[in-house]
Homo-oligomer: A and B are copies of this chain.
Amino acid sequence: MNEDVEGDRPQRAAKRPDEGFQGRRTTTLSDVARLAGVSIATASKALNGRAQVRAETRTKVLAAAEQLSFSPNGLARSLLSGRSGTVGLVTHDLEGRFSIPTLMGAEDAFGSGKVSVLLCDARGDSIREQHHIQALLGRRVDGLIIVGARPDPRPSLGNMPVPVVYAYAPSDDPQDCSLVTDNVGGGRMGVEHLVACGRTRIAIISGDASYGAAKDRVIGAQQALDEAGLELVGGQALFGAWTEDWGRGAMRGLLAKHPDVDAVLCGSDQIARGCLDALRESGREVPQDVAVMGHDNWEVLASNARPPLTSIDMNLEELGRRAAARLFEAMEGNPAHGIETIPCRLALRSSTAS
């Protein structure tokens, strides 16, 4: 049991109380300095590319660092600089469809640089949210992104010691910085596309009326209809649930009462899938007889539909990237206020190709 390995300074071996893993101490800057035969300060300057160091010395230090596979301790750096280089991302919809692209966008916008994302799932529970936020603040995150589960306003966190950006679900305080998808614009875009395809007998099968998203999309669609001088088939949008079942049932009812319908704008891709099924079973051809549009552009549903489904894409990744950008700006001292709306995008497939 004599310590004849790693011959250098065995007397430190017993100093650390609680060596969880492998008992191998991580190498520090002073290890590098010692091996290179210089002071810690010089080693630091050499490694950080400071100018005041002789080329030969720098080479020596770099070699030593390489040999010891030195990696500077970010915690120590952060402690010194006052910024941790991390942001907290608290999501309320990790299992769901909406937070993931947002998260990807944010991770994307940060990832390349020197910022890492600490992820927490609060699952719609404000107690848990508070808990996570305290933990993140304790870790001295430089900022927070709060991702909601649905686009309805949520209570503000109030004054926080770091900048906060709300994504998908806006804060109810207009002083906060929020980013949301443009549901009104999405609905409008849907109708405009159908009109451009030459449709005039348009119906809307929306989702759960308790969601602001459902109503907003209908509002936008109605605006576009008005501008085109068209009446909604059936007189009003149909509200129900975000399911295929609802889409099927509603479509059947619609066909029974208004067999001359030539386009259906759906509140989600799931609803649209139900519509497509009902139409096929009634013998209608899509898009020849009836055009169908979804919303969300959920790839697995839209691409695999028969025919593949034209859908409104909410640009969630862009929303995430933008949230990250806004947070970044706020961290630099230029906070934005109010609600910023990210425009939708048309994902064109065959279900409307006129």
Interface residues of A (CB under 8 A from B): 16, 18-22, 24, 26, 71-76, 78-79, 82-86, 89, 94-95, 100-101, 103-104, 107-108, 111, 114, 116-121, 132, 134-140, 142, 161-163, 243-245, 270, 273-274, 277, 298, 300-301, 304, 306, 330-333, 335
Contacts and interface: CB of A to CB of B under 8 A. Distances in A.
Given A94-B100, A119-B107, A331 B139 contact: no
Contacts of A107: 94, 119-121
A345 to B, nearest CB: 17
Given A21-B163, A26-B161, A139-B75, A121 B111 contact: yes
A138 B70 CA distance: 10
6 contacts: A26-B140, A71-B137, A74-B140, A89-B119, A100-B100, A116-B135
Contacts of A71: 134, 137-138
A82 B16 CA distance: 9
Contact of A24 (B79, B104, B161): B161
Contacts of A277: 306
Given A22-B161, A114-B135, A298-B300, 19 more contacts: A20-B142, A20-B332, A20-B333, A21-B163, A21-B335, A71-B137, A72-B138, A74-B140, A94-B103, A94-B104, A94-B107, A95-B104, A104-B121, A111-B121, A116-B118, A117-B118, A117-B120, A118-B118, A273-B304
Pairs of residues from A and B, 9 with the lowest C-beta to C-beta distance, nearest first = A244-B304, A119-B119, A74-B139, A74-B138, A75-B79, A75-B78, A75-B75, A20-B331, A116-B118
Contacts of A135: 114, 116
A311 B300 CA distance: 17
Contacts of A304: 243-245, 270, 273-274
B100 A95 contact: yes
A78 to B, nearest CB: 5
A238 B267 CA distance: 36
Nearest to A269: B300
A245 B132 CA distance: 43
Contacts of A114: 135
Contacts of A86: 118, 139
Q: Which of A74, A101, A121 has the most CB of B within 10 A?
A: A74
Contacts of A104: 94-95, 121
Nearest to A161: B26
Contacts of A73: 79, 138, 140
A19 B270 CA distance: 48
B79 A79 contact: yes
Nearest to A27: B161
